[in-house]
Amino acid sequence: MKTNLRGRDFISTQEWTKEELETVLQLASDLKMKWGLDLPTRLLEDKTLFMLFFFSSTRTRNSFEAGMTRLGGHAIFLEPDKMQISHGDTPKEIGKILSSYGHGIAIRHCDWGDGNKYLRDVAEHARVPVINMQCDIYHPCQAMADLMTCIEKKGDMKGKKVVMSWAYAKSYTKPLSLPQSVIELFTQFGADVVLAHPPAFDLMPEILDNAASNARKTGGSFKIVHDMDEAFVGADVVYPKSWGPLVAVQDSSKMVDTIRQYESWICDERRMSLAKEDAIYMHCLPADRGVEVTDAVIDGPQSVVYDQAENRMHVQNAIMALTMGGR
């Protein structure tokens, strides 16, 4: 367990060691138990978190905001169009000025090619921790909530087959951030990770390298397949979710045409029957019901989607308490 995380940014899980991430999970479990017992956990009394959203949110905004209330502090919701960002406030101004008023800056910026860079530019100038609420490359708080959920349901991830699969979706071209964070984090915890997607839906090469390298170090494994059925066979955990063909296709109209070719990539009861009988179904939400997943699966007994959503608050409270508070 680590006791020196005060001041650290949380931009990707890959930049934290397994021991540091385990510290987050331990504290998150303790905070969750106290939440269940309605015991006080005022670890960030009189502290302020600024939450800057360039993109919409249900879970992230509300879990961070409710989380800061629970920790005895205050969260301020910021939208770029209500600020002076379009009139000249650069990441330097945001980092320096918000640091002078508060204790943490959380940012969601998912624009492909811009989001992660924006977070890192703010972090360079901030005197307080910067927490990634999702960028174009990573969604580390979601992946930590997912790992916590898997450990609660399945125990140690070593030897568990975890399938991160692409799925069809109509609503919008979703970022790569969730699958990228999941394959990095679960290989760091020794799982046998299978990434499944149609050919044009590659993830970023450096992320694939990190997952393969993590698996080598932890004794887990990492492989890529292009068949959803093949991936599901014998799985302990299935996580079918859409993302855009952002690495392979540059033109946005071509992206839509590319996605439309794979309508058959839906998680239904037949596919769930290929996984282990006690396999769990995961989705970070929002899901395209009837497109990414059938109602029977997402509302069925194997689904853990609401546990994942609740655990967002507990892992984030742990991350905030450790980085914005402590010694």
Residue from 32, 59, 103, 197 that binds ligand CP (CB under 6 A)? 59
* Window contacting ligand CP (CB under 6 A); options: 29-37, 52-60, 85-93, 249-257: 52-60
| 93/152 with CB nearer ligand CP | 152
CA 277 to chain centre: 26
- CB neighbours (10 Å) of residue 139? 28
Task: Report which DSSP code applies to 243.
Answer: -
Cis peptide preceding 40, ω within 30 of 0 = no
| 146/192 with CB nearer ligand CP | 146
| 58/100 with CB nearer ligand CP | 58
Contact between 170 and 164 (Cβ < 8 Å): no
Q: Is 58 in the site for ligand CP (CB under 6 A)?
A: yes
- d(CA 299, CA 301) in angstroms, rounded, equals 7
CB of 273 to ligand CP, least distance (A): 27
Q: Is 60 in the site for ligand CP (CB under 6 A)?
A: yes
Sites for ligand CP among residues 80-139 (CB under 6 A): 134
Q: Where on the phi/psi map is residue 116: left (φ > 0), alpha (ψ -120 to 50), or beta?
A: alpha
Binding residues with ligand CP: total (CB under 6 A): 8
| 47/283 with CB nearer ligand CP | 283
CB of 23 to ligand CP, least distance (A): 23
Cis peptide preceding 286, ω within 30 of 0 = yes
* Window contacting ligand CP (CB under 6 A); options: 57-65, 70-78, 180-188, 273-281: 57-65
CB of 134 to ligand CP, least distance (A): 6
The amino acid that residue 297 corresponds to is V
Q: Is 284 in the site for ligand CP (CB under 6 A)?
A: yes
| 145/322 with CB nearer ligand CP | 145
Q: Is 23 in the site for ligand CP (CB under 6 A)?
A: no
- d(CA 38, CA 312) in angstroms, rounded, equals 18
Give CA angle at 72 (70, 77), nearest 5°. 75
- d(CA 325, CA 17) in angstroms, rounded, equals 19
| 224/285 with CB nearer ligand CP | 285
Q: Is 142 in the site for ligand CP (CB under 6 A)?
A: yes
Q: Is 57 in the site for ligand CP (CB under 6 A)?
A: yes
Residue from 285, 291, 307, 326 that binds ligand CP (CB under 6 A)? 285
Q: Which residue sits closest to ligand CP, CB atoms considered?
A: 60
> How would DSSP label each residue in 16-35?
S-HHHHHHHHHHHHHHHHHH
Q: H helices within the chain, ranges in order? A: 18-37, 59-70, 91-101, 115-125, 140-154, 177-188, 205-218, 228-232, 252-260, 269-272, 295-298, 305-324
CB of 290 to ligand CP, least distance (A): 19
| 48/134 with CB nearer ligand CP | 134
CB of 147 to ligand CP, least distance (A): 14
| 3-state SS, residue 288 | coil
Contact between 27 and 320 (Cβ < 8 Å): no
| 60/180 with CB nearer ligand CP | 60
Site of interaction with ligand CP (CB under 6 A): 57-60, 134, 142, 284-285
